[in-house]
């Protein structure tokens, strides 16, 4: 099969690395890709959000499969448009990808189908939002409705902070049109957990659990980022806990979307909080998480193409997932200053000899050298029989890689609670 993967981050590197092992895949392309992906696939300089150019290119090259990995092209309907052009594509249609693209939609869905989540209200009028805040306990969570690169969420400790957040989103356009509708919700407390699952619209199969580390600095300090590291499993859950999550959240979500005429085919992301009242949904994403994907795929024993085919063809009920036992850890190495201002163009050394799987994100090839080109530069993967073994091994790899002004957290996986 000749396959095109849309995207260019660490997640896409991991997807391509895994697809490369599939006996069904003969040719791999990535658009736009990055410096690391270029070593194992042909990279094509088309922006992931340029839907029309991507469809034209895919038609011209007659790909057997187009895997749409990032949120923006999914929300823009890239899968629908590929199919309309007669191509086979993996990922949810726009009408299902809305679970990520609109928080107001997903909160409404959860309310209608009794899926546990934080209590909330949606507002399109700023005065009403401000008046509502006066009646609520603090802390409280303010969310921009649309896609905002994971940054459209503010946890306000005081009424003053909450009001400022509402005004910045609704009047000052801090997140553009993503903030013209806001969701204000109860602040939940508890450890967070990610569950990714394959879905063919009817059957849903969860993968091993994982846990992201979103803050920039150790001890969960600093700004929210796209993710500074991840581990699998994300929590020590009993079979009973797994069943509660499946029965109260995972299966009902897929059934709800099907009932609404929006069957979800692809990978769905459940961002959960394990509260004292049981597991609750923080958010849905319509895709593999990054960096959770990089921690999960190397442990997957199935051929990823087998799962993709089953999701598209509606035969997931005939598939069983199997996993390499133990634990895994990925540590993200970022450009100093990320997620705010940072410099690019620094040479990266040590990857080839580090003895670990390295998934690259913000890297580019320049005059034959690998250089930094983004905030999250790469991540180092390791697994082990225990969590400590996996973490120690990942950090051994990190120590062998270097570039100027690099920054990484030293406590990935160490602060699980």
d(CA 289, CA 228): 12
How far, in Å, are 44, 131, 169, 270, 319 from residue 184 at the CA level? Answer: 41, 12, 12, 20, 40
12 is an interface residue for ligand GLY by CB under 6 A:
no
144 is an interface residue for ligand AMP by CB under 6 A:
no
d(CA 218, CA 409): 5
Binding mask 141-170 for ligand GLY (x = CB under 6 A): ---------x--------------------
Residue from 76, 104, 188, 286 that binds ligand AMP (CB under 6 A)?
188
Q: Among the candidate windows 18-26, 164-172, 287-295, 326-334, which touches ligand GLY by CB under 6 A?
A: 287-295
Q: Please, what is the end-to-end C-alpha distance for the chain in angstroms?
A: 43
C-beta neighbour count of 338 within 10 angstroms: 22
Residue from 12, 72, 292, 383 that binds ligand GLY (CB under 6 A)?
292
C-beta neighbour count of 216 within 10 angstroms: 20
Size of the site for ligand AMP (CB under 6 A): 14
Q: Which does 241 bind (CB under 5 to 8 A by kind): ligand GLY, ligand AMP, none?
A: none
Q: Which does 80 bind (CB under 5 to 8 A by kind): ligand AMP, ligand GLY, none?
A: none
Residue from 100, 185, 290, 309 that binds ligand AMP (CB under 6 A)?
185
Q: How far is the CB of 237 from ligand GLY (least distance, A)?
A: 19
192 is an interface residue for ligand AMP by CB under 6 A:
yes
249 is an interface residue for ligand AMP by CB under 6 A:
no
Residue from 40, 159, 167, 187 that binds ligand AMP (CB under 6 A)?
187
Q: How far is the CB of 323 from ligand AMP (least distance, A)?
A: 24
Q: How far is the CB of 71 from ligand GLY (least distance, A)?
A: 8
Residues at the contact surface with ligand AMP, assessed by CB under 6 A: 118, 141, 150, 153, 155, 185-188, 192, 214, 271, 282-283
Residues at the contact surface with ligand GLY, assessed by CB under 6 A: 150, 212, 227, 285, 289-290, 292
């Amino acid at each position: 099969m000749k396959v095109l993967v849309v995207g260019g981050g660490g997640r896409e590197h991991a997807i391509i690395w895994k697809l490369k092992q599939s006996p069904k895949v003969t040719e791999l392309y990535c658009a736009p890709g990055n410096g690391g992906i270029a070593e194992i696939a042909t990279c094509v300089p088309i922006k992931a959000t340029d839907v029309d150019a991507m469809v034209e290119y895919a038609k011209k090259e007659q790909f057997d499969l187009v895997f749409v990995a990032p949120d923006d092209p999914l929300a823009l309907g890239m899968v629908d448009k590929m199919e309309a052009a007669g191509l086979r594509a993996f990922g949810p249609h726009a009408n299902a990808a809305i679970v990520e693209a609109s928080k107001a939609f997903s909160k409404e869905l959860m309310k209608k189908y009794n899926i546990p989540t934080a209590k909330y209200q949606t507002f399109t009028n700023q005065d009403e939002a401000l008046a509502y805040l006066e009646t609520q306990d603090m802390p409280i969570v303010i969310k921009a409705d649309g896609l905002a690169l994971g940054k459209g969420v503010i946890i306000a400790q005081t009424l003053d902070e909450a009001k400022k957040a509402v005004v910045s989103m609704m009047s000052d356009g801090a997140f553009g049109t993503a903030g013209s509708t806001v969701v204000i919700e109860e602040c939940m407390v508890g450890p967070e957990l990610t569950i990714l699952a394959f879905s063919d619209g009817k059957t849903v199969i969860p993968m091993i659990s994982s846990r992201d580390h979103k803050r920039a600095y150790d001890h969960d300090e600093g700004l929210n980022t796209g993710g500074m590291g991840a581990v699998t499993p994300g929590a020590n859950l009993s079979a009973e806990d797994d069943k509660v999550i499946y029965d109260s959240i995972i299966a009902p979500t897929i059934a709800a979307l099907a009932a609404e005429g929006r069957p979800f085919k692809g990978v769905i992301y459940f961002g959960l909080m394990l509260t004292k009242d049981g597991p609750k949904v923080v958010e849905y994403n319509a895709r593999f998480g990054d960096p959770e994907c990089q921690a999960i795929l190397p442990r997957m024993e199935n051929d990823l193409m087998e799962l993709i085919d089953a999701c598209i063809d509606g035969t997931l009920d005939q598939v069983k997932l199997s996993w390499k036992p133990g634990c895994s850890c990925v540590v993200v190495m970022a450009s100093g200053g990320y997620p705010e201002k940072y410099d690019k163009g620094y040479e990266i050394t040590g990857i080839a000899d580090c003895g670990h799987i390295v998934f690259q994100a913000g890297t580019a090839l320049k005059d034959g050298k690998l250089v930094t080109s983004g905030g999250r530069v790469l991540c180092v993967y390791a697994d082990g029989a225990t969590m400590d073994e996996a973490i120690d091994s990942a950090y051994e790899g990190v120590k062998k890689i270097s570039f100027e002004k690099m920054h990484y957290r030293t406590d990935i996986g160490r602060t699980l609670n």
